[in-house]
Amino acid sequence: MEVTFIRKWFPCDALSAKVMREKREQFSKLMTLRGFSSKTKKAYEGHVRRFCQTHAEVFFHLKEDDVQTYLLRLFEQDFSHSYMNQVISALKLFLGKACGRPELIMKIPRSKKEKKLPAVLSVDEVLRLLAAIPNIKHKTILMLTYSSGLRIGEVVRLKLHDLDHQRLIVHIRQGKGRKDRVTVLSRQAVEMIRVYVERERPFDWLFPGAERDRPITERSVQRVFESARETADIKKAATVHTLRHSFATHLLEAGTDLRYIQELLGHENIKTTQIYTHVSIKDARKVMSPLDRIMMSKDDGNPSTDGK
């Protein structure tokens, strides 16, 4: 995601450019030593690059106000709180550790975490979505994503040997937080995968990209989902990750224990998994709306209550 406010560019002398380049290289090495994933490194490096570009002229004379002004201008563009917290984390590491200027960022507070409920597709919407995909490879990707509760970065990096057809499990190797885990492998997905493998003959990556020695890109999968959502006439603001939310919610509604769902999703904290209790309709089905109760009383010929 690019910062869209108008940048004011200034000529940067050779010394300043050299120092900024060295600091950014040091920052990259620091992230590597801390075990950051390539995805996180790419995001942090992007935040730092944009910050440096807008402060080239004052890099040697940065003040706390410069950092605050930069962040305020981002807030004005309505970036999400999670995005802003990522920017702050990147700058804290860059300015505080790589540049040795922790005072510039020390007093900057993190954004209060937004409490948003995830979008969830109904079972009917999931079926419509899958039915809208004619390409067997693309259908298999989204079917496996939903049926196993995978993140998009996990499904695109699956290899053939990560699927255990006998035990019906999927091995997720070095997922988010560099953690391995196993999750369920649907029998229906196994059949679809078998047909797909026989037809496409992947030899290492389960879902290779245009270059068969590389996996399909996340953006390609996102485009497949967006096209299928439009064809299936699904109006919800759903993304590929919505399939993971739907997997967890449908398991909860079917009576699966929350702790088991936590393990399948790879959540470290049960509180992360508990968000699905707020979107599940399992218990809501037991509650009758007062309007339905009133209308039923009316149809039965009983007098409606007056609220006393």
Residue positions annotated with a catalytic role: 151, 176, 241, 244, 267, 276
Strands of the 163-164 sheet, one edge to the other? 163-164, 169-172, 181-184
Amino acid (one-letter) located at 305: T
CA pair distance 295, 65, nearest whole angstrom:
62
Of 229, 154, 228, 164, the closest CA to residue 193 belongs to 164
Helix axes of 64-75 and 81-93: crossing angle, nearest 10 degrees: 160
Measured torsion, CA atoms of residues 32, 34, 39, 42, in degrees rounded to the nearest 10: -60
Q: Name the DSSP letter for residue 108.
A: P
Angle made by CA atoms 132, 133, 138, in degrees to the nearest 5: 155
- Contact by Cβ (8 Å): 70, 110: no
Q: Name the DSSP letter for residue 205.
A: B
**Sign (positive/negative) of CA torsion 228, 233, 238, 241?**
negative
DSSP-assigned states of every residue in 3-54: --SPP------HHHHHHHHHHHHHHHHHHHHTT--HHHHHHHHHHHHHHHHH
Of 175, 171, 173, 162, the closest CA to residue 39 belongs to 175
Compute the chain's Rg from CA coordinates. Answer: 25
CA pair distance 244, 70, nearest whole angstrom:
35
